[in-house]
Amino acid sequence: MLIATFNVNGITSRLPALLQWLGEKQPDVACLQELKAPQEKFPEAAINEAGYQAIWHGQKSWNGVAILARGELPLEVGRGLPGDPDDEQSRYIEAVVNGVLIACLYLPNGNPAPGPKFDYKLQWFERLITHAARLIDSGAPVVLAGDFNVMPTDIDVYKPERWVNDALFRPETRDAFHRLVAQGWTDSLRTMFPGERIYTFWDYFRNAFGRDAGLRIDHLLLSPALSGALKAAGVDRDVRAREKPSDHAPTWIELALDSKA
DNA sequence: ATGACTGATGGAATCAGA
């Protein structure tokens, strides 16, 4: 089972690139973030024509998440991260596909830090930690996939010393990520590439991609029920090198599932 | 410390991203 996460940075502008990648990669599941489109502007027909069915939570201008499944409709089991009924931002959606619970998330950026946006990021993170604990306790096969807006360690940043005061790399942010993983989650990409520099995002500025000045901020975390099923992982860097790319590259894992999953 | 680049909104300039 091939499961991918891709921050598209605007699904309207990115639709041709998304369809090209879907056609080539044919993932079983694709989690999308930063749709930047209201609910009624999601390009459902084009997605369907590509062989996918989708659920999505849109929002005007910013945020927005979707789960696509090849040849089937994801069974939605959650929309909006629990823990704050006043949170209006579309950053979390959850579905079951082929017996696997897929959580698609777009964690807040949090800059500038300190400040109210950073406070919101940390609060959102605590809600995610609380919810993720429930998912772990359920014993279900779960994948937490998305743009976490966190570089977990120094080797996930091209120049860590330049990012120490950034909301994506501050100690509070890294601590939250490590507390989440410590519940029992497997960081798929890091597990498959221990000690290697592997990035998922390159800024549009200053020829960041050409210089490989990247960040690893898109993650796929596996619950204990799935940790033994991890067979492969990767980042589709070539997609970032194309015309009119997102600043993120598709990031994916392959799971070998037995019939009881 | 700043700005460079891109998308959305709205129809110019600003916000947000990371």
pLDDT surpassing 60 at residue A261: no
Q: Is A199 considered catalytic here?
A: no
What Å value separates CA A254 and C1' B14?
A: 42
Quote the domain boundaries for residue A143: 2-255
With contact defined as beta carbons under 8 Å apart, do A152 and A168 qualify?
Answer: no
Q: Which two tokens stand for residue A31?
A: 């989690």
Residue A131 approaches strand B within 7 Å at CB: no
CATH number at residue A100: 3.60.10.10
What Å value separates CA A223 and C1' B13?
A: 46
Which residues are CB-contacts of A147 (< 8 A; sequence separation ≥ 6)? Answer: A5, A7, A33, A34, A105, A106, A107, A217, A218, A248
Q: What is the pLDDT of residue A227?
A: 97
**What's the rounded mean pLDDT across residues A20-25?**
98
The nucleotide minimizing the C1' distance to residue A109's CA is: B18
What Å value separates CA A22 and C1' B18?
A: 25
pLDDT per position as a tens digit, A192-215: 999 999 999 999 999 999 999 999
Indicate if the alpha-carbon torsion angle A117, A159, A105, A15 is positive or negative. positive
Confidence of residue A149 (pLDDT cuts 50, 70, 90): very high
Residue A205 approaches strand B within 7 Å at CB: yes
**Domain for residue A97, yes or no?**
yes
Tally the domains of chain A.
1
How far is it, in rounded angstroms, from Cα A161 to Cα A165? 9
pLDDT surpassing 70 at residue A162: yes
How far is it, in rounded angstroms, from Cα A123 to Cα A83? 10
pLDDT surpassing 50 at residue A124: yes
Confidence of residue A107 (pLDDT cuts 50, 70, 90): very high
The nucleotide minimizing the C1' distance to residue A147's CA is: B18
Q: What is the pLDDT of residue A258?
A: 75
> Which one from A28, A147, A218, A247 is the annotated catalytic residue?
A147
pLDDT surpassing 50 at residue A231: yes
Entry pTM: 0.97
CA torsion angle A110 A111 A116 A118 (round to 10): 40
pLDDT surpassing 50 at residue A121: yes
Q: What is the distance between the terminal CA atoms of chain A, rounded to a whole angstrom?
A: 11
**Domain for residue A198, yes or no?**
yes
**Domain for residue A100, yes or no?**
yes
How far is it, in rounded angstroms, from Cα A32 to Cα A94? 12
Q: What is the pLDDT of residue A233?
A: 98
Q: Is A218 considered catalytic here?
A: no
Q: What is the pLDDT of residue A25?
A: 98
Average of per-residue pLDDT values in chain A = 97
How far is it, in rounded angstroms, from Cα A26 to Cα A46? 15
What Å value separates CA A150 and C1' B7?
A: 22
Detail the DSSP E strand segments found in chain A. Answer: 2-7, 29-33, 52-57, 65-70, 75-79, 92-97, 100-106, 142-147, 186-187, 201-202, 214-215, 218-222, 230-235, 251-255
**Domain for residue A261, yes or no?**
no
High-pLDDT (> 90) share of chain A, %: 98
Residue nearest to nucleotide B8 (CA to C1'): A61
Residue A251 approaches strand B within 7 Å at CB: no
Q: What is the pLDDT of residue A259?
A: 57
**Domain for residue A42, yes or no?**
yes
**Domain for residue A260, yes or no?**
no
